[in-house]
Amino acid sequence: MQRKVRLKDVAERAGVAVNTASTILNRRPNSWASKETEARVFQAAKELGYRPSKTARALQSGRYHSIGLLIQDLTNPFFSTVADEIEAVVEERGFDLIVENCRSSLVREQHLFAGLADMEVDGVITYLSDNSVFHDALVERFEAGFPIVALGNGIPARQIPVDCVLSDFTEGLDQAVDYLFNLGHRHFAFLSALAEGQADGNRPQLFQKMLSNRGVLASQIDILRCGHSVHSACETVEAYLKQHAKNPPTVLFAMNDLSAIGAMRAALDAGLSIPEKLSVVGVDDVPLCAYLPISLSSIRQRYRKIAAAACDLLVSRIEETLEDTSQPRQVVFPTHFIPRDSVGPVPSR
Protein backbone atom coordinates (compact mmCIF):
# COMPACT_ATOMS: atom_id res chain seq x y z
CA MET A 1 0.00 0.00 0.00
CA GLN A 2 1.33 3.42 -0.95
CA ARG A 3 2.47 5.54 2.01
CA LYS A 4 0.51 8.73 2.64
CA VAL A 5 2.42 11.84 1.62
CA ARG A 6 3.39 13.90 4.67
CA LEU A 7 3.98 17.62 5.08
CA LYS A 8 7.61 16.73 5.82
CA ASP A 9 7.91 15.15 2.35
CA VAL A 10 6.69 18.36 0.69
CA ALA A 11 9.09 20.48 2.73
CA GLU A 12 12.05 18.24 1.79
CA ARG A 13 11.11 18.31 -1.92
CA ALA A 14 10.82 22.13 -1.86
CA GLY A 15 13.96 22.59 0.27
CA VAL A 16 12.24 24.50 3.07
CA ALA A 17 11.47 24.00 6.76
CA VAL A 18 8.29 22.11 7.70
CA ASN A 19 6.86 25.22 9.41
CA THR A 20 7.45 27.25 6.26
CA ALA A 21 5.69 24.66 4.09
CA SER A 22 2.76 24.57 6.52
CA THR A 23 2.43 28.36 6.56
CA ILE A 24 2.44 28.55 2.76
CA LEU A 25 0.07 25.64 2.10
CA ASN A 26 -2.45 26.91 4.65
CA ARG A 27 -2.13 30.42 3.18
CA ARG A 28 -1.59 31.98 6.58
CA PRO A 29 -0.97 35.74 6.46
CA ASN A 30 2.21 35.61 8.56
CA SER A 31 4.27 34.05 5.77
CA TRP A 32 7.55 35.86 4.99
CA ALA A 33 8.39 33.54 2.11
CA SER A 34 9.15 34.94 -1.33
CA LYS A 35 6.85 34.28 -4.28
CA GLU A 36 9.50 31.93 -5.69
CA THR A 37 9.52 29.89 -2.45
CA GLU A 38 5.71 29.76 -2.36
CA ALA A 39 5.61 28.57 -5.97
CA ARG A 40 8.22 25.88 -5.17
CA VAL A 41 6.19 24.59 -2.19
CA PHE A 42 2.92 24.46 -4.13
CA GLN A 43 4.67 22.71 -7.02
CA ALA A 44 6.17 20.12 -4.66
CA ALA A 45 2.76 19.49 -3.09
CA LYS A 46 1.23 19.04 -6.56
CA GLU A 47 3.96 16.65 -7.72
CA LEU A 48 3.67 14.51 -4.60
CA GLY A 49 -0.14 14.59 -4.51
CA TYR A 50 -0.15 16.06 -1.01
CA ARG A 51 -3.55 16.70 0.63
CA PRO A 52 -3.50 18.38 4.05
CA SER A 53 -5.48 16.71 6.84
CA LYS A 54 -8.72 18.56 7.58
CA THR A 55 -8.30 17.82 11.25
CA ALA A 56 -4.79 19.26 11.25
CA ARG A 57 -5.94 22.34 9.36
CA ALA A 58 -8.80 22.82 11.81
CA LEU A 59 -6.43 22.62 14.78
CA GLN A 60 -4.30 25.34 13.23
CA SER A 61 -6.97 27.65 11.78
CA GLY A 62 -10.03 26.75 13.86
CA ARG A 63 -11.99 25.81 10.72
CA TYR A 64 -12.55 22.77 8.53
CA HIS A 65 -13.56 24.82 5.47
CA SER A 66 -16.42 22.34 4.99
CA ILE A 67 -20.19 22.60 5.31
CA GLY A 68 -22.53 19.71 6.05
CA LEU A 69 -25.87 19.11 4.34
CA LEU A 70 -28.44 16.84 5.98
CA ILE A 71 -31.07 16.05 3.38
CA GLN A 72 -34.09 13.77 3.12
CA ASP A 73 -33.80 11.60 0.03
CA LEU A 74 -31.29 11.93 -2.80
CA THR A 75 -33.36 9.59 -5.01
CA ASN A 76 -35.99 12.33 -5.10
CA PRO A 77 -35.01 14.80 -7.87
CA PHE A 78 -36.14 17.72 -5.71
CA PHE A 79 -33.58 17.00 -3.00
CA SER A 80 -30.81 16.15 -5.45
CA THR A 81 -31.46 19.46 -7.23
CA VAL A 82 -31.32 21.35 -3.93
CA ALA A 83 -28.07 19.57 -3.01
CA ASP A 84 -26.53 20.40 -6.39
CA GLU A 85 -27.47 24.09 -6.11
CA ILE A 86 -26.08 24.31 -2.57
CA GLU A 87 -22.85 22.59 -3.57
CA ALA A 88 -22.29 25.11 -6.37
CA VAL A 89 -22.76 28.07 -4.01
CA VAL A 90 -20.68 26.50 -1.23
CA GLU A 91 -17.75 25.94 -3.60
CA GLU A 92 -17.90 29.58 -4.70
CA ARG A 93 -17.48 30.56 -1.03
CA GLY A 94 -14.40 28.35 -0.67
CA PHE A 95 -15.99 25.48 1.25
CA ASP A 96 -16.40 21.77 0.55
CA LEU A 97 -19.83 20.15 0.96
CA ILE A 98 -20.41 16.91 2.87
CA VAL A 99 -23.84 15.38 2.21
CA GLU A 100 -25.67 13.09 4.62
CA ASN A 101 -28.70 11.33 3.11
CA CYS A 102 -31.56 10.38 5.49
CA ARG A 103 -33.09 8.03 2.89
CA SER A 104 -36.61 9.01 4.05
CA SER A 105 -36.04 7.23 7.36
CA LEU A 106 -36.97 9.06 10.57
CA VAL A 107 -34.71 6.73 12.56
CA ARG A 108 -31.73 7.50 10.33
CA GLU A 109 -32.62 11.21 10.33
CA GLN A 110 -32.58 11.34 14.14
CA HIS A 111 -29.29 9.42 14.22
CA LEU A 112 -27.62 11.76 11.73
CA PHE A 113 -28.95 14.87 13.44
CA ALA A 114 -27.63 13.69 16.80
CA GLY A 115 -24.18 13.32 15.23
CA LEU A 116 -23.98 16.79 13.65
CA ALA A 117 -21.45 18.02 16.20
CA ASP A 118 -19.14 15.12 15.30
CA MET A 119 -18.98 16.01 11.62
CA GLU A 120 -15.76 17.73 10.58
CA VAL A 121 -17.62 20.81 9.32
CA ASP A 122 -17.92 24.48 10.27
CA GLY A 123 -21.70 24.52 10.01
CA VAL A 124 -24.68 22.56 8.69
CA ILE A 125 -27.67 23.13 6.41
CA THR A 126 -30.56 20.79 7.24
CA TYR A 127 -33.64 19.76 5.29
CA LEU A 128 -35.51 17.84 7.99
CA SER A 129 -38.78 15.94 7.48
CA ASP A 130 -40.42 18.14 10.15
CA ASN A 131 -38.58 21.03 11.81
CA SER A 132 -41.12 21.14 14.64
CA VAL A 133 -40.19 17.59 15.73
CA PHE A 134 -36.58 18.75 16.20
CA HIS A 135 -37.51 22.07 17.85
CA ASP A 136 -35.85 21.43 21.21
CA ALA A 137 -32.73 19.95 19.59
CA LEU A 138 -32.47 22.97 17.27
CA VAL A 139 -32.75 25.27 20.28
CA GLU A 140 -29.80 23.44 21.87
CA ARG A 141 -27.68 23.80 18.73
CA PHE A 142 -28.48 27.51 18.45
CA GLU A 143 -27.75 28.25 22.11
CA ALA A 144 -24.46 26.33 21.85
CA GLY A 145 -23.42 28.61 18.98
CA PHE A 146 -23.26 25.84 16.38
CA PRO A 147 -23.92 27.43 12.94
CA ILE A 148 -27.00 25.80 11.45
CA VAL A 149 -29.58 26.78 8.82
CA ALA A 150 -32.85 24.89 8.42
CA LEU A 151 -34.67 24.62 5.09
CA GLY A 152 -38.38 23.91 4.97
CA ASN A 153 -41.69 24.04 3.14
CA GLY A 154 -44.43 26.31 4.42
CA ILE A 155 -44.48 28.84 7.23
CA PRO A 156 -44.87 27.04 10.59
CA ALA A 157 -47.10 28.41 13.33
CA ARG A 158 -44.18 28.06 15.76
CA GLN A 159 -41.06 29.94 14.69
CA ILE A 160 -38.07 27.78 13.83
CA PRO A 161 -35.42 28.50 16.51
CA VAL A 162 -32.45 28.68 14.10
CA ASP A 163 -31.71 30.62 10.93
CA CYS A 164 -34.00 29.25 8.22
CA VAL A 165 -34.98 29.55 4.55
CA LEU A 166 -38.57 28.63 3.75
CA SER A 167 -40.80 28.26 0.69
CA ASP A 168 -44.28 29.73 1.06
CA PHE A 169 -46.69 27.56 -0.95
CA THR A 170 -49.69 29.85 -0.41
CA GLU A 171 -49.25 31.87 -3.61
CA GLY A 172 -48.28 28.99 -5.90
CA LEU A 173 -50.99 26.65 -4.62
CA ASP A 174 -53.61 29.39 -4.86
CA GLN A 175 -52.59 30.06 -8.46
CA ALA A 176 -52.86 26.36 -9.32
CA VAL A 177 -56.23 25.89 -7.60
CA ASP A 178 -57.59 29.04 -9.28
CA TYR A 179 -56.30 27.87 -12.69
CA LEU A 180 -58.00 24.45 -12.41
CA PHE A 181 -61.18 25.86 -10.88
CA ASN A 182 -61.55 28.30 -13.80
CA LEU A 183 -61.21 25.33 -16.19
CA GLY A 184 -64.37 23.90 -14.61
CA HIS A 185 -62.92 21.33 -12.20
CA ARG A 186 -64.88 20.58 -9.03
CA HIS A 187 -63.67 17.11 -7.95
CA PHE A 188 -60.12 17.07 -6.55
CA ALA A 189 -57.67 14.63 -4.95
CA PHE A 190 -54.51 15.50 -3.02
CA LEU A 191 -51.67 12.99 -2.64
CA SER A 192 -49.35 13.39 0.39
CA ALA A 193 -45.97 11.64 0.13
CA LEU A 194 -44.77 10.97 3.68
CA ALA A 195 -42.03 9.14 5.53
CA GLU A 196 -43.21 6.61 8.11
CA GLY A 197 -44.58 8.50 11.12
CA GLN A 198 -44.34 11.88 9.38
CA ALA A 199 -47.25 14.33 9.71
CA ASP A 200 -49.03 15.76 6.65
CA GLY A 201 -47.88 19.33 7.29
CA ASN A 202 -50.08 22.25 6.32
CA ARG A 203 -50.37 21.74 2.55
CA PRO A 204 -53.44 19.43 2.54
CA GLN A 205 -55.29 21.77 4.92
CA LEU A 206 -54.27 24.78 2.84
CA PHE A 207 -55.50 22.99 -0.29
CA GLN A 208 -58.85 22.13 1.30
CA LYS A 209 -59.34 25.67 2.58
CA MET A 210 -58.66 27.21 -0.83
CA LEU A 211 -61.16 24.91 -2.50
CA SER A 212 -63.74 25.46 0.24
CA ASN A 213 -63.41 29.23 -0.25
CA ARG A 214 -64.35 28.66 -3.90
CA GLY A 215 -67.43 26.66 -2.98
CA VAL A 216 -66.05 23.14 -3.54
CA LEU A 217 -67.74 20.69 -1.16
CA ALA A 218 -65.63 18.67 1.28
CA SER A 219 -67.12 15.48 -0.22
CA GLN A 220 -65.44 16.42 -3.52
CA ILE A 221 -61.96 16.64 -1.99
CA ASP A 222 -60.07 13.38 -1.35
CA ILE A 223 -56.82 13.24 0.65
CA LEU A 224 -54.53 10.27 -0.12
CA ARG A 225 -51.27 9.24 1.56
CA CYS A 226 -48.33 7.29 0.16
CA GLY A 227 -44.65 6.68 0.86
CA HIS A 228 -41.81 8.76 -0.58
CA SER A 229 -41.07 6.50 -3.55
CA VAL A 230 -42.56 6.83 -7.03
CA HIS A 231 -43.58 3.16 -6.74
CA SER A 232 -45.60 3.83 -3.58
CA ALA A 233 -47.35 6.78 -5.23
CA CYS A 234 -48.22 4.66 -8.27
CA GLU A 235 -49.61 1.83 -6.13
CA THR A 236 -51.63 4.20 -3.94
CA VAL A 237 -53.24 6.02 -6.87
CA GLU A 238 -53.85 2.73 -8.70
CA ALA A 239 -55.83 1.38 -5.71
CA TYR A 240 -57.67 4.68 -5.26
CA LEU A 241 -58.74 4.86 -8.93
CA LYS A 242 -60.05 1.28 -8.77
CA GLN A 243 -62.20 2.20 -5.77
CA HIS A 244 -63.49 5.33 -7.51
CA ALA A 245 -63.76 3.95 -11.04
CA LYS A 246 -67.36 5.19 -11.44
CA ASN A 247 -66.62 8.69 -10.18
CA PRO A 248 -62.89 9.51 -10.35
CA PRO A 249 -61.58 13.01 -9.60
CA THR A 250 -60.84 15.28 -12.52
CA VAL A 251 -57.72 16.77 -10.88
CA LEU A 252 -54.98 15.21 -8.77
CA PHE A 253 -52.50 17.38 -6.86
CA ALA A 254 -49.38 15.63 -5.53
CA MET A 255 -47.21 16.90 -2.68
CA ASN A 256 -44.09 16.54 -4.84
CA ASP A 257 -43.19 15.91 -8.46
CA LEU A 258 -41.95 12.37 -7.87
CA SER A 259 -45.32 11.26 -6.51
CA ALA A 260 -47.06 13.18 -9.33
CA ILE A 261 -45.09 11.13 -11.86
CA GLY A 262 -46.17 7.91 -10.11
CA ALA A 263 -49.77 9.13 -10.15
CA MET A 264 -49.59 9.83 -13.88
CA ARG A 265 -48.39 6.28 -14.53
CA ALA A 266 -51.26 4.85 -12.47
CA ALA A 267 -53.81 7.03 -14.26
CA LEU A 268 -52.60 6.00 -17.72
CA ASP A 269 -52.61 2.32 -16.70
CA ALA A 270 -56.22 2.78 -15.53
CA GLY A 271 -57.21 4.15 -18.94
CA LEU A 272 -57.44 7.78 -17.88
CA SER A 273 -55.71 9.93 -20.48
CA ILE A 274 -53.87 13.03 -19.27
CA PRO A 275 -55.17 15.73 -19.31
CA GLU A 276 -58.32 14.71 -21.21
CA LYS A 277 -59.69 12.62 -18.32
CA LEU A 278 -57.41 13.59 -15.42
CA SER A 279 -55.33 16.72 -14.85
CA VAL A 280 -52.22 16.26 -12.68
CA VAL A 281 -50.22 18.90 -10.78
CA GLY A 282 -46.96 18.38 -8.90
CA VAL A 283 -45.02 20.50 -6.42
CA ASP A 284 -41.36 21.69 -6.63
CA ASP A 285 -40.99 21.94 -10.44
CA VAL A 286 -37.82 19.88 -10.74
CA PRO A 287 -36.06 20.24 -14.13
CA LEU A 288 -37.39 16.83 -15.24
CA CYS A 289 -41.00 18.15 -15.30
CA ALA A 290 -40.58 20.06 -18.55
CA TYR A 291 -39.11 17.05 -20.41
CA LEU A 292 -41.57 14.26 -19.60
CA PRO A 293 -43.59 12.82 -22.54
CA ILE A 294 -46.55 14.62 -20.95
CA SER A 295 -44.89 17.65 -19.39
CA LEU A 296 -45.88 18.03 -15.75
CA SER A 297 -47.54 21.18 -14.42
CA SER A 298 -45.97 22.07 -11.09
CA ILE A 299 -45.62 24.66 -8.34
CA ARG A 300 -42.10 26.02 -8.61
CA GLN A 301 -39.68 26.55 -5.77
CA ARG A 302 -36.78 29.03 -6.16
CA TYR A 303 -33.87 26.58 -5.94
CA ARG A 304 -31.01 28.96 -6.65
CA LYS A 305 -32.31 31.69 -4.37
CA ILE A 306 -32.89 29.17 -1.59
CA ALA A 307 -29.34 27.81 -1.94
CA ALA A 308 -27.76 31.28 -2.03
CA ALA A 309 -29.78 32.53 0.96
CA ALA A 310 -28.97 29.43 3.03
CA CYS A 311 -25.25 29.80 2.34
CA ASP A 312 -25.33 33.54 3.11
CA LEU A 313 -26.98 32.89 6.47
CA LEU A 314 -24.62 30.06 7.36
CA VAL A 315 -21.36 31.70 6.26
CA SER A 316 -22.21 34.87 8.18
CA ARG A 317 -22.46 32.72 11.33
CA ILE A 318 -19.27 30.81 10.55
CA GLU A 319 -17.25 33.95 9.79
CA GLU A 320 -18.84 35.83 12.70
CA THR A 321 -19.80 38.90 10.67
CA LEU A 322 -23.12 39.46 12.48
CA GLU A 323 -23.56 42.34 14.90
CA ASP A 324 -26.41 40.54 16.69
CA THR A 325 -26.06 36.77 16.95
CA SER A 326 -28.76 36.32 19.58
CA GLN A 327 -31.76 36.05 17.25
CA PRO A 328 -32.46 33.52 14.48
CA ARG A 329 -33.20 34.95 11.05
CA GLN A 330 -35.85 33.85 8.55
CA VAL A 331 -35.90 34.21 4.77
CA VAL A 332 -39.09 33.31 2.86
CA PHE A 333 -39.46 32.81 -0.89
CA PRO A 334 -42.84 32.63 -2.66
CA THR A 335 -43.76 29.87 -5.11
CA HIS A 336 -45.66 30.12 -8.39
CA PHE A 337 -47.62 27.78 -10.65
CA ILE A 338 -46.20 26.60 -13.99
CA PRO A 339 -48.98 25.11 -16.20
CA ARG A 340 -47.94 22.53 -18.79
CA ASP A 341 -49.41 19.63 -20.81
CA SER A 342 -50.68 17.71 -17.77
CA VAL A 343 -53.61 20.07 -17.11
CA GLY A 344 -56.67 20.81 -19.23
CA PRO A 345 -60.38 21.63 -19.07
CA VAL A 346 -62.77 19.53 -17.03
CA PRO A 347 -63.77 16.42 -19.03
CA SER A 348 -67.36 15.92 -20.08
CA ARG A 349 -69.04 13.02 -18.26
Q: What is the pLDDT of residue 178?
A: 96
Q: How much is the average pLDDT of 242-253?
A: 95
Contact partners, residue 73, CB within 8 Å, separation at least 6: 79, 101, 102, 103, 104, 228
pLDDT digits over 146-162, tens only?
Answer: 999 999 988 888 899 99
Give this prediction's pTM: 0.81
Most confident among 19-23, 61-65, 227-231 (mean pLDDT) = 227-231
- Sign of the alpha-carbon torsion through 338, 342, 348, 349: negative
Domains of the chain as residue ranges with CATH: 7-52 (1.10.260.40), 66-168+302-335 (3.40.50.2300), 170-300 (3.40.50.2300)
Q: What is the pLDDT of residue 56?
A: 55
Q: How much is the average pLDDT of 218-230?
A: 92
pLDDT digits over 91-129, tens only?
Answer: 888 888 999 999 888 889 999 999 987 888 999 999 998
Q: What percent of the chain has pLDDT over 90?
A: 64
Closest CA to 103 of 232, 196, 234, 186: 196
pLDDT digits over 310-327, tens only?
Answer: 999 999 999 888 888 889
Q: With contact defined as beta carbons under 8 Å apart, do 137 and 162 qualify?
A: no
